[in-house]
Amino acid sequence: MTERLQIAFAQLNQTMGDLRGNADAMLAARARQPEADLIVTCELSLIGYPPEDLVLKPSLVRAADAELQRMAEATADGGPAMLVGSVLLEDDKLYNAMALLDGGKIAAWTRKHELPNYGVFDEKRVFAPGPLPGPLAFRGVRLGVPICEDIWFPDVCECLAETGAEILLVPNGSPYELDKDDKRLSLAAMRVAETGLPLAYLNRVGGQDEIVFDGASFVMNADRRIAVQFPDWEERVTLTTWFRTAKGWVCEEGHKHRLDPYPEDIYHAMQIGLADYVNRNRFPGVVLGLSGGIDSALSAAVAVDALGADRVWCVMMPSRFTSQDSLDDAAECARMLGCRLDTIAITPAMEAFDAMLAPVFEGKPRDITEENIQSRIRGVTLMALSNKFGHMLLTTGNKSEMSVGYATIYGDMAGGYSVLKDAYKTTVFALSRWRNANRPKLALGPNGPVMPERVITKPPTAELRENQKDQDSLPPYEILDPILHGLVEEELSVADIVARGFDRDTVIRIERLLYVAEYKRRQSPPGVKIGIRNFGRDRRYPITNAFRTS
C-alpha cells in the first residue's frame, strides 16, 4: 500500500491555442520535478481557457490529441505521471476532460460533469457534460478529480467520496474577480467538510482577452486548515508531500504566501491582463492620450508596469480649452514614468472642422456636437499613430463613464484594449493613491510616485469647453458609483436604491442613462474584468429596451 505520495502542482500561464508551446511548458515543469510521482496541471491546460468556439474546429481537436500523445510518450521514462487538461472527442461528443498520462500512454480520462453557463462561461455551447465520475486509480491511491465547476455543487465530490476517492485534486480555470479568494476557500471548506477528504485547488495565472486568472492555488487538509498557499499572479511549480495516516491522507505543511489585498489585487489584474494581451497579439507597445487627468495617468502607469517605459508612448493633444495645469501634469506624469511624450495640438483640425461644417451648422448654437468633434479628432490622431507605427491604442475610459455614456463613440472610446473598463471612478482614485505609495510585484515601472498628487486631487474634467467639470453633467462620483453598483452589479430597481438613501430623481436619471448607452458599450474595446458584472461578457443587455424599474 502506498504510504507517501509526492504531487507537484503546476500553476502556469497557458497561451490560447498554442498547443505545442503549452505542452512544452508542462513537460518543462515535469522535468523540474523529477522526484514527483504526479504533476497536476490546470483545466484545459493544453489548449487554454476559456476556448469558446475554438474547440469546435476539428483540426484543433486533432492537434490537441497529437500533442497529448506526445506528452504521454514522454512519461515512458519512468518519471512523474501527468494529469493534463484537454478535450476528449468520444461518440461525436466533445468533453472538457483531464487525461492521466503514465507509463508512456494515456492511462485514464475523467470528464467534467457540471458545465458553467453564466457570466463569462458558456461551456454548454461547446461541451457535453460527462457522467458523475469515479476516482482514478494511481499507484495504489484513488484520486478524485472534480474539474472546476464540479466543486461548486456537492454531487460530484459526494460521488467521488462514495466511490472510494482518498484525495480530491481540483484543476481549475477560475477567473479573478473581487473577493474571489474568500469564495474559493469557503467553497473548498464545504466540500472538505462534506466528504472528509483533503482537497488541492489548482488555478492558472495570466490574461485571456478580458479575463485574468490570478492563480492563488492552495491545499486544504481534511481538518480544513490550509497546508500550502501558492502566490497569486505568478507562475509556480510546487512540490507537495502527502502521507497516509490512520485518518486518511494529509499534505505536509509548506509555504503560505500572502495574497493581495484590495486594491493591490485589482492593479495586478490590470497589469497582467494588459501584458498578456499586448504581448500575445504581438504589438510592439501601446500608444495613449495623456491628458493630465487621472484616468489616462493611471492607464499609463499600468502600461509602464506591464510593458516597460520604452514600450509606452503618450501623446498630449491640447486644444484651446486645455489648461496649463493639464499640460504640466501630463508632462510631469510622463517624466515620473520615464516614457515618451509627444504633443500634437488639435486646434488646426478643430478650425478645419468648424470651417467645413459652418454652412450646414449656420444658425445653430455650439453644443455637445463640437465637444464630440474634439474627442473624435483625438481618436483619429491616436489611431493614425497606431496605424503608422503598430502600437496598440490603449483606451483610458472608466466604468462610471461607460455606464452613463459619458464617453464619445469613435473618440475617447477608440482603441484596442482598456485596463479601466471595469473600474469605477472611485476605484480609479483608490488605485492611483495605492500606486503612488507602492511598487507592484513583477512591475517594470519605477519605484515611487507615478503621477503628481494634483492629478488625484483636482476635479475631473474632459476640458471640451470652458471651465468644464464632470460634475456639471454627473452626480459626484461618491454618489454616482454606489447607484451604478446597485443597478449593474446587483440588478436592483430604482425603489431598492432609493431605499438606501439616494435621491429618486437622480436614480431614475442614472438608470435611463445606463440603458440608452448600451449601443455605445457594444462598440467599446475589450478590457480587464475585475468585478462580478463587467460590460460585455457578464452583463448582456438588449440595445433596444423600453423597460424601466421606475
Here the cell at position 218 is: 492552495
Here the cell at position 90 is: 468520444
Element (H, E) at 90: strand 81-90
Where would I find the H helices in 174-323? 180-195, 264-280, 294-307
Residue 42 near residue 145, CB atoms below 8 Å: no
Q: Which are the contacts of 536, defined by CB distance < 8 A and separation ≥ 6?
A: 210, 521, 524, 526, 527
| Known binding positions for L-glutamine | 118, 174, 180
Here the cell at position 430 is: 483608490
Inter-CA distances, 336 with 315, 430, 466, 478, Å: 15, 19, 29, 29
Amino acid in position 287: V
Amino acid in position 172: N
Strand order in the sheet with 248-251: 105-111, 93-102, 81-90, 38-40, 4-11, 236-245, 248-251
Here the cell at position 169 is: 485534486
- Biggest CA–CA distance in the chain, Å, is 92
Ramachandran region, residue 354 (left: φ > 0; alpha: ψ -120 to 50; beta: rest):
alpha
- Is 159 catalytic? The answer is no
Catalytic, out of 42, 148, 314, 339:
148
Residue 101 near residue 79, CB atoms below 8 Å: no
Element (H, E) at 9: strand 4-11
Inter-CA distances, 39 with 169, 178, 250, 376, 546, Å: 11, 29, 18, 52, 54
Q: How many helices (H) and strands (E) does the chain have?
A: 16, 20
Place of cell 473600474: 423
Q: How far apart are CA 120 and CA 221, in angstroms?
A: 30
- Is 43 catalytic? The answer is yes
Q: How far apart are CA 96 and CA 92, in angstroms?
A: 13
Residue 111 near residue 97, CB atoms below 8 Å: yes
Q: How many alpha carbons fall within 13 Å on the CB side of residue 546?
A: 0
Inter-CA distances, 68 with 61, 105, 509, Å: 10, 9, 55
Q: How far apart are CA 460 and CA 468, in angstroms?
A: 9
| Known binding positions for ATP | 289-296, 396
Question: Which residues in 230-246 are b (16+ Cβ under 10 Å) and which e?
Answer: bbbbbbbbbbbbbebee
- Is 166 catalytic? The answer is no
| Known binding positions | 118, 174, 180, 289-296, 372, 396, 401, 520
Q: How far apart are CA 517 and CA 405, in angstroms?
A: 5
- CA end-to-end distance (rounded Å), the chain: 67
Q: How far apart are CA 128 and CA 112, in angstroms?
A: 9
Catalytic, out of 43, 67, 166, 210:
43
Catalytic residues: 43, 112, 148
